[in-house]
Amino acid sequence: MVWLRAWMGLTAGLPRRPFVAATCPENRAAIIDYTTGSRLTKTFIDVIVQHSLEHYRVDAFASDLQSWSKTDFS
């Protein structure tokens, strides 16, 4: 998942800037858009991003992303 690592600021699996996606609404939107197969409207994605910004702490969001990006779902 190179795209996710890039958004999270990871290089070779080592955290460089661990809160990049967690602090950037545009990156959250891109992750949501990609992981839902680009089937949602921009308006709906914006609502989801706004909800996550209002209800989830940055450190919790970043931890979830790091955990999820390292999991082999195959």
- Look at residue 39 in the predicted model and tell me its pLDDT: 95
Strand (E) or helix (H) holding 44: helix 42-55
| Inter-CA distances, 10 with 4, 21, 24, 42, 48, Å | 9, 11, 15, 26, 24
Question: Residue 10: pLDDT band by 50, 70, 90 thresholds?
Answer: very low
58: Cβ–Cβ under 8 A, 6 or more apart, which residues?
19, 22, 23
Task: End-to-end CA distance of the chain: give it in Å, rounded.
Answer: 12
Question: Maximum Cα–Cα distance for the chain, whole Å?
Answer: 34
Q: Per-residue pLDDT tens for 14-71?
A: 344 556 677 788 888 888 888 888 999 999 999 999 998 899 888 887 777 777 767 7
